[in-house]
């Protein structure tokens, strides 16, 4: 019972804030324009501020773990490869191939990774290492997969690849991680005024991000393409964690690192999957359905996985 309460305390507050965002949207307390602005503000300001503050205050030499970063990168690459192979073998409708693959591997690692690690351990200094190892790979792989599987595709869309690479280099979250790393590595002591200002922005990051996720939730879209949506959701939330969490445990990852790996593997499909799919000539219906279904089901599966990890004394 104690382990179950621990897991519920870790997940329920996070998802209740998302539910609140959903309710705010349904009662028209916030509208679509507000949600779009909120997500942009959070992506460009509050999340980078949080990452800068957490990393700058951490001892980089103590936090950095090459083994962990390589594991996250390697597992993400394996997930993409496994899902791509299975999708080509199992899907009859090849028009949804690219959307299915992207939605099955690309999770909301930055937002939920920070939220859960903060909620359980009080800081998120390990989350940036996972983000650094996965987010650039997420984006490059998505461009390649969606280019080759787009209707009427003639191969890799070089313009989209260049745009994606530029987006990675100028990504505020990645820039926030690097700025925090520079401050930590150089052991720069930030003036109190700067530090306090960063903290004032950073405390907004998690609640605003979760409200934005909840407010953008559209339940009706989950009914579209139900069968591939459920298969994709099962891969995202259950199959990949089932395969790779035992490997992570065998390699000795524990506590914050294990939670970060869980979120990397089992976080719900990120909204940017839908945006990128639409922009690259795909229908987008499966992507939006997967975002909705995985967001809804993740409240159950993440709690379940945390419970298992807690029972095995891995967190």
Residues 72-97 pLDDT 10s: 999 999 999 999 998 888 888 778 88
| Domain extent for 119 | 2-311
List the CATH number of the domain containing 107.
1.20.1530
In sequence order, what are the residues at sequence separation of 6 or more whose Cβ sits closer than 8 angstroms to the Cβ of residue 178? none
pLDDT in tens, 112-124: 666 667 766 666 6
Contact call for residues 131 and 110 (beta carbons, < 8 A): yes
Among 21-30, 205-214, 240-249, name the most confident range. Answer: 240-249
Backbone angles phi, psi at 197, to 5 degrees: -65, -45
Residue at token pair 């979120």: 263
Q: What is the pLDDT of residue 241?
A: 94
Number of compact structural domains in the chain = 1
Query: Residue 168 has what pLDDT?
Result: 67
* 99 touches 287 (CB < 8 A): yes
Q: Could you tell me which residues are beta bridge partners of residue 107? A: 269
Q: Are 114 and 47 in contact (CB under 8 A)?
A: yes
**112 vs 31 pLDDT, higher one:** 31
Alpha helices in the chain (DSSP H): 2-26, 32-41, 47-57, 60-63, 66-90, 97-105, 109-121, 127-149, 158-169, 172-185, 192-215, 226-234, 240-250, 255-266, 272-279, 285-311
Helix axes 192-215, 2-26, angle to 10 degrees: 80
């Amino acid at each position: 019972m104690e382990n179950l309460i621990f897991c519920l305390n870790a997940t329920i507050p996070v998802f209740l804030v998302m539910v609140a965002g959903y309710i705010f949207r349904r009662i028209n307390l916030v509208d679509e324009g507000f949600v779009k602005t909120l997500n942009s503000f959070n992506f460009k300001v509050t999340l980078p501020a949080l990452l800068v503050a957490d990393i700058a205050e951490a001892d980089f030499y103590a936090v950095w773990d090459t083994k962990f970063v390589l594991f996250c990168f390697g597992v993400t690459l394996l997930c993409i490869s496994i899902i791509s192979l299975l999708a080509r073998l199992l899907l009859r409708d090849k028009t949804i191939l690219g959307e299915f693959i992207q939605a099955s591997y690309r999770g909301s690692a930055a937002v939920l990774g920070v939220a859960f690690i903060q909620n359980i351990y009080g800081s998120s200094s390990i989350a940036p290492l996972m983000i650094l190892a996965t987010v650039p790979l997420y984006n490059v792989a998505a461009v390649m997969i969606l280019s080759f599987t787009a209707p009427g595709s003639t191969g890799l869309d070089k313009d989209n690849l260049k745009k994606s690479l530029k987006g990675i280099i100028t990504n505020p979250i990645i820039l926030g991680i690097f700025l925090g790393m520079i401050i930590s590595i150089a052991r720069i002591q930030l003036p109190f005024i700067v530090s306090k200002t960063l903290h004032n922005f950073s405390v907004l990051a998690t609640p605003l991000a979760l409200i934005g996720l909840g407010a953008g939730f559209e339940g009706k879209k989950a009914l579209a393409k139900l069968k591939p949506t459920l298969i994709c959701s099962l891969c995202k939330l259950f199959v990949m964690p089932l395969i790779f969490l035992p490997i992570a445990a065998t390699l000795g990852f524990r506590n914050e690192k294990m939670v970060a790996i869980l979120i990397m593997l089992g976080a719900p499909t990120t909204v940017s999957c839908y945006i990128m799919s639409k922009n690259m000539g795909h229908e987008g219906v499966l992507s939006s359905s997967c975002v909705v279904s995985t967001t809804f089901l993740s409240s159950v599966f993440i709690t379940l996985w945390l419970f298992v990890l807690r029972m095995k004394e891995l967190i």
